[in-house]
């Protein structure tokens, strides 16, 4: 009877009816608590549902009951791999192959783990062996296709995915993995189509939702991306990458509270994730330096009945700077960076790089010299007993324009000077020929320049946030002015506040592009070290 329940559960699994499968497998285990295969099958279902803890518990139980059960080691390896615990996963694959050297599944799973560790040649060897053992093993063809894709051999990759789907037209992972090839080839319609098919075949396929979310983001469709990332997180709530991708999307929409929750959740799982830590620091800096306006900031506008021209409800605060800045950032980041890369300047070298931070400081100091002495501005409005003082950080519109121009100039300079490193695309070099085509002196120069970027970017961000803070203080002060004598007080208040914000808004998009550039450079740094080491032993 226990086997009958397990057989029906396997049928449910094929139909993605996971709850029914779990129910039948639990009945099988109730009937026979020593039924190792039932624990193994239930663990597989929990794994597909993203419940790693229950999956590992069931695989552990199966292995205790049947220590030579190779498939249970393979399935536990898959779960460890999803958790990012690749060393334990590889150890399980090795145990499985020691028990069953002809296990195509063990070779294929180990191949996927090697991919995650960027050990592509080892991965290719495992997938080739899996296909040699079982030429009809569709997942192995799909895995080998992924290796070819990572090596930049797109035609061979597409051939393997086609073979995988010929063998098993319902293999959702093959559609998911082929979609990534189409994305690399910038064939966005085919990318979305394959991901749609993957999700149709497996509505609980978290990675396919995540990949489709990334595809939407690349098209600037942030809301659709967040919807897909949310589905991925629902299915696998402990997947760090899914949490970070959604948090990054929220950040692009300036939904900083939601973004911060996402980055915190990722760091709670893995506190070593530097991308999440950097993003959290960036958002906290934004929260401390850019404050939203409150309703009291514009109570003068709400004191007068709204006119037809003033469509804003009385008492509703104007959008804070962080919201307006996000609108300037709405274009896809790659496009913003590309516009900076069109005319790269000759990179600075040696002491000139060290002087870059000083150069920004000198530019800002020059702006300060435009104003003699300390100026404390105020606004005198008839009908108000006292003048409205403007925060001391504000020293006139000419000074503000000068500061914004200095920030914009430095952001543009950084983007131009470091674009060459990103364009070299170190992480995706896939052949000795490509490595040897880069001169050693150029690699050394790129590495030196990458080290100098942090200080420049930090100085820029500090100056930007300081000036953004000042702008918000000035807006808050101006919002206290009683404009009831003006017929269209709401429209006038909007115009005044937007005028004050305009200079810093001009610099915002470039500043954001620099943040992304820093992330790209950090991704390239480790790859540069690898390339330099390989070049020393493989290039003539």
- 284 plus 319 within the same structural domain: no
Position 509 in a domain? yes
Residue 521 pLDDT > 70, yes or no?
yes
Mark whether 350 and 268 lie in a shared domain: no
Residue 19, C-beta contacts closer than 8 angstroms, at least 6 positions apart: none
d(CA 137, CA 494): 64
Are 347 and 285 contained in the same domain?
A: no
Please give the pLDDT value at position 495: 80
Q: What is the mean pLDDT of residues 403-411?
A: 80
In a domain, 58, yes or no: no
Task: Assess whether 239 and 369 both reside in one domain.
Answer: no
The CB density around residue 490, as the number of other CB atoms within 10 Å, is 25
pLDDT grade for 381, boundaries at 50, 70 and 90: low
pLDDT (mean) for 234-242: 89
In a domain, 518, yes or no: yes
pLDDT for 356 equals: 53
**What pLDDT score was predicted for residue 383?**
55
Residue 301 lies in a domain: yes
- Write the pLDDT tens digit of every residue in 253-291: 878 889 999 999 999 988 888 888 888 877 776 655 444
Based on the fold, state whether residues 253 and 350 are members of the same structural domain: no
pLDDT at residue number 264: 92
In the beta sheet, which residues pair with residue 379?
A: 388
Domain count, the chain: 2
Residue 411 located in a structural domain: yes
Q: Are residues 409 and 491 in the same domain?
A: yes
Q: In this model, does residue 388 exceed pLDDT 80?
A: no
Can you read off the two tokens belonging to residue 130? Answer: 């899996």
pLDDT at residue 374 above 70?
no
- The span from the CA of 447 to the CA of 387, in Å, is 55
Structure tokens of 122? 């080892």
What mean pLDDT is predicted for residues 81-104? Answer: 90
- Which DSSP symbol is given to 488? T
pTM of the model: 0.51
* 465 contacts 291 by C-beta, under 8 angstroms: no
Of 289, 307, 322, which closes a domain? 289
Q: Which range is least confidently modeled, 18-27, 86-95, 101-110, 356-365? A: 356-365
In this structure, the answer to whether residues 348 and 481 fall within a common structural domain is: yes
- DSSP class of residue 296 equals G
Q: Is residue 245 part of a domain?
A: yes
Question: At what angle are helices 256-269 and 274-289 packed, to 10 degrees?
Answer: 150
323 and 228 share one domain:
no
Which of 260, 289, 318 is the last residue in one of the domains?
A: 289
3-state secondary structure of 320: coil
Does residue 122 surpass a pLDDT of 50?
Answer: yes
Strand partners, 389: 378
Phi, psi angle pair for 475, to nearest 5°:
-60, -40
Q: Give 366-394 as a 3 state SS string.
A: HHHCCCCCCCCCEECCCCCCCCEECCCCC
- pLDDT exceeds 80 at position 66: yes
**Taking residues 393-406, what's their average pLDDT?**
79
Question: Is 42 part of any domain?
Answer: no
Could you read off the pLDDT of 425-476 as tens digits, one per residue? 888 888 888 888 888 888 888 888 888 777 777 777 777 767 777 777 777 7
**354 falls in which pLDDT band (50, 70, 90)?**
very low
Handedness of CA 380, 384, 390, 392 (dihedral sign): positive
Contact present, 297 and 318 (Cβ < 8 Å): yes
Say which CATH number the domain at 238 has: 1.25.40.10
141 has pLDDT over 50:
yes
pLDDT tens readout for residues 197-223? 999 998 889 999 999 999 999 888 999
Mean pLDDT of 391-405: 79
**355 and 227 assigned to the same domain:** no
Q: What is the pLDDT of residue 254?
A: 79
316 and 274 assigned to the same domain: no
The pLDDT of residue 516 is: 72
pLDDT of residue 167: 95
Residue 323: pLDDT over 70: no
Q: Which two tokens mark 144?
A: 């080998």
Q: Are 209 and 232 a contacting pair, CB within 8 Å?
A: yes
- Residues 354 and 400 reside in one and the same domain: yes
The per-residue pLDDT of the chain, averaged, comes to 79
User: Distance between CA atoms of 177 and 88, rounded to whole angstroms?
Assistant: 24
Residues 175 and 165 sit within 8 Å (Cβ to Cβ): yes
Domain encompassing residue 407: 293-538
pLDDT given at position 158: 96
Q: What is the model's pLDDT at position 249?
A: 92
**Angstrom distance (rounded) from CA 270 to CA 240:** 8
Assess if residue 472 is contained within a domain: yes
User: Of 289, 309, 341, which closes a domain?
Assistant: 289
Give residue 326's pLDDT band: very low, low, confident or very high (50, 70, 90).
very low
Of the ranges 205-219, 314-328, 366-380, the best mean pLDDT one: 205-219
The answer, yes or no, to whether residue 21 has pLDDT greater than 80, is: yes
Q: Same domain, yes or no, for 283 and 303? A: no
Positive or negative torsion for Cα 231, 141, 217, 522: positive
Residue by residue, DSSP assigns 34-94 as T-HHHHHHHHHHHHHTT-HHHHHHHHHHHHHH-TT-HHHHHHHHHHHHHTT-HHHHHHHHH
Percent of the chain with pLDDT over 70: 81
Q: How far apart are the C-alpha atoms of 471 and 4, rounded to whole Å? A: 71
Which of the residue ranges 56-65, 156-165, 298-307 would you say has the lowest mean pLDDT?
298-307
pLDDT-derived band at 29 (thresholds 50, 70, 90) equals very high
Q: Alpha-carbon distance 525 to 531, whole Å?
A: 10
| Residues 291, 364: Cα–Cα separation, whole Å | 23
Report residue 44 as tokens: 């597989």
Give the highest mean pLDDT range of 81-95, 175-189, 262-276, 301-315. Answer: 175-189
């Amino acid at each position: 009877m226990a086997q009958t329940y397990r057989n029906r559960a396997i049928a449910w699994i094929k139909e993605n009816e996971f709850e029914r499968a779990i129910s039948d497998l639990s009945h099988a285990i109730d009937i026979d608590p020593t039924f190792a295969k039932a624990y193994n099958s239930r663990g597989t279902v929990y794994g597909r549902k993203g419940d790693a803890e229950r999956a590992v518990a069931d695989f552990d139980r199966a292995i205790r009951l049947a220590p030579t059960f190779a498939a249970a080691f393979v399935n536990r390896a898959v779960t460890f791999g999803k958790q990012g615990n690749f060393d334990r996963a590889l150890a399980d694959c090795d145990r499985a192959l020691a028990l069953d050297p002809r296990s195509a599944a063990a070779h294929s799973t180990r191949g996927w783990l090697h991919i995650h560790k960027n050990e592509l040649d080892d991965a290719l060897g495992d997938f080739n062996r899996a296909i040699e053992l079982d030429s009809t093993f569709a997942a192995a063809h799909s895995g080998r296709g992924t290796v070819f894709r990572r090596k930049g051999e797109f035609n061979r990759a597409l051939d393997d995915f086609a073979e995988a789907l010929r063998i098993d037209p319902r293999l959702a992972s093959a559609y998911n993995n082929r979609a990534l090839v189409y994305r690399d080839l910038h064939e966005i319609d085919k990318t979305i189509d394959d991901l749609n098919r993957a999700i149709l075949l497996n509505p609980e396929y978290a990675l396919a939702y995540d990949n489709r979310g990334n595809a939407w983001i690349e098209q600037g469709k942030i809301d659709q991306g967040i919807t897909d990332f949310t589905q991925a997180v629902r299915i696998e709530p402990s997947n760090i990458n899914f949490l970070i991708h959604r948090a990054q999307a929220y950040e692009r929409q300036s939904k900083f509270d939601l973004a911060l929750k996402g980055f915190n959740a990722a760091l709670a799982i893995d506190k070593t994730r530097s991308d999440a830590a950097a993003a959290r620091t960036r958002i906290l800096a934004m929260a401390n330096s850019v404050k939203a306006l409150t309703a009291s900031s514009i109570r003068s506008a709400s004191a007068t009945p709204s006119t037809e021209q003033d469509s804003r409800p009385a008492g509703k605060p104007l959008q804070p700077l962080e919201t307006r800045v996000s609108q300037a950032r709405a274009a896809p980041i790659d496009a913003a960076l590309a516009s900076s890369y069109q005319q790269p300047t000759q990179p600075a070298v040696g002491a000139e790089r060290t002087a870059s931070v000083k150069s920004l400081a000198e530019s800002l100091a020059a702006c300060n010299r435009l104003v003699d002495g300390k100026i404390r501005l105020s606004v005198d409005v008839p009908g108000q007993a006292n003048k409205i003082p403007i925060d001391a950080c504000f020293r006139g519109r000419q000074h503000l324009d000068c500061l914004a121009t200095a920030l914009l100039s430095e952001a543009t300079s950084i983007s131009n000077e470091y674009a060459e490193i990103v364009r070299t695309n170190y992480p995706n070099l896939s052949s000795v020929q490509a490595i040897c085509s880069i001169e050693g002196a150029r690699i050394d120069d790129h590495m030196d320049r990458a080290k100098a970027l942090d200080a420049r970017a930090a100085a820029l961000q500090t100056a930007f946030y300081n000036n953004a803070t000042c702008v918000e203080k000035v807006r808050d002060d101006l919002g206290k002015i009683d404009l009831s004598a003006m017929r269209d007080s709401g429209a006038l208040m909007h115009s005044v506040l937007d005028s004050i914000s305009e200079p810093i808004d001009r610099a915002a998009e470039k500043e954001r592009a620099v943040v992304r550039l820093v992330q790209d450079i950090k991704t390239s740094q480790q790859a540069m070290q690898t390339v330099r080491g390989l070049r020393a032993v493989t290039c003539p």
